[in-house]
Amino acid sequence: MFTGIITGVGRIAAIHALGSSLDHGKRLTIQTPPSYLDDVGLGDSIALNGACMTVTSMKPQALEFTIDISAESLAKTAGLDQVGPINLEKALRAHDRLGGHIVSGHVDGIGTVLRFEPVGESWELLIHAPQALAKYLAYKGSITVNGVSLTVNRVTDVPASHPQGLGTEISINLIPHTVQNTALGQLGAGSPVNLEIDLIARYVERMLQDSRKPAQP
């Protein structure tokens, strides 16, 4: 479990194939900020751009750890198949503050950045989300973008004629601190991003489905 509050910006430094076919996954070597691995052990969970992964080896002196990611996870996420900066968050501990919102570390869909531009002292991040996620997105609701807990400022459903197809546009305001202390500052128009919907919205949808079922005789 996570909160969407990034604890460090790392870097995918190397990618190694775990086999010769497309059914095989990859082993990623992640470089971390100084002291980041001081309280991390083998088997611990760390979210990489919002995707929960397991630490499989560590070199604390070299500020590196590795994770193994399956072909299925690679196909369902963005930004984990290339060298570059990445958002890191260690798993939530029972006594930690819940600074963002409840995040599971399971990517629900991949969105596309439509615009990322400064507006006044802040930045506007406009994302096209897949149609399957539309019903979970609400004004002032929570959304996780590449592992970062953010608040939706505007929701606009768009038709199939939209350049990105049927779905929903969400506008998010980022303060300079967020841009400077996460890897979101590397985004631009066309960038794919990992999206995780609010866990509470997921349960509400399930309860509504159950309430619509006909009563049993």
Kind and range of the H or E run holding 213 = none
> How confident is the model over 154-199, as pLDDT tens digits?
999 998 889 889 999 999 999 999 999 999 999 999 999 999 999 8
> How confident is the model over 97-109, as pLDDT tens digits?
888 899 999 999 9
* pTM of the predicted structure, to 2 decimals: 0.92
Domain 8-90 and domain 109-206, same fold? Reply is yes
CATH of domain 109-206: 2.40.30.20
CA torsion sign for 49, 184, 63, 24 is: positive
Kind and range of the H or E run holding 54 = strand 51-59
Q: Is the confidence at residue 133, as pLDDT, over 80?
A: yes
Query: Which of the four pLDDT bands, split at 50, 70 and 90, describes residue 22?
Result: confident
- Number of C-beta neighbours around residue 125 at 10 A: 24
- Where are the chain's structural domains? 8-90, 109-206
Contact 116, 127 (CB under 8 A): no
Residue 143: which of 186, 107, 179 has the closest Cα?
Answer: 107
Any idea what the Cα angle at residue 75 is, between residues 160 and 148, rounded to 5°? 80
CATH of domain 8-90: 2.40.30.20
